[in-house]
Amino acid sequence: MPNKPPRDKPRRPRSGRPRALGDVLQRATTGSALAAIQQGAAGVEALRQKLLSQLPQALQPHVASAIAKPGEVVVFVDSAAWAGRLKLALAEVRPDLKPEAQDSDRLTVKVMPGGQFRR
């Protein structure tokens, strides 16, 4: 007969005492994780606005978001038809996006998941 598997039970008691909820929330909101998320959201919107200022008027309402990743800039659009047009427009705009999209960076256009098809 095989041995029983070990239980997932801590062998020693928790160290420290329970903390007040207010202290936990204060530590979570003042930490760098929340600040990094807020800064990242501001950076996404700044990149999107810079991209929109360079694009033709017909393409601007169809750009949903733009994200700068290491080595890549990803632009999300609302449909596949506009993605094709945006790829062609980005080839012309690319030299004007220098700090965000270097020559070694890739510009990727993706369709926004869950986007609505418009007729």
pLDDT, one tens digit per residue, over 35-88 is 666 666 777 788 888 888 888 888 888 888 888 877 888 888 988 888 999 988
To the question of pTM greater than 0.85 for the whole model, the response is no
Instruction: Say which residue, 119 or 35, is predicted with more confidence.
Output: 35
| Number of structural domains found in the chain | 1
Query: What residues make up the domain containing 79?
Result: 47-114
Render the chain in DSSP notation, one character per residue. Answer: -PPPPPP---SSPPSS-PPPHHHHHHHHHHSHHHHHHHHHHHHHHHHHHHHHHHS-TTTGGGEEEEEEETTEEEEEESSHHHHHHHHHHHHHHGGGGTTTS-TTSEEEEEEPTTPPP--
Q: For residue 15, is it within any domain?
A: no
Residue 42 belongs to some domain of the structure: no
Q: What is the pLDDT of residue 65?
A: 84
Q: What CATH number does residue 98 fall under?
A: 3.30.300
Determine, yes or no, domain membership for 2. Answer: no
Residue 30's pLDDT band, with cuts at 50, 70 and 90, is low
Asked if residue 88 is part of any domain, the answer here is yes
Q: Does residue 11 fall inside a structural domain?
A: no
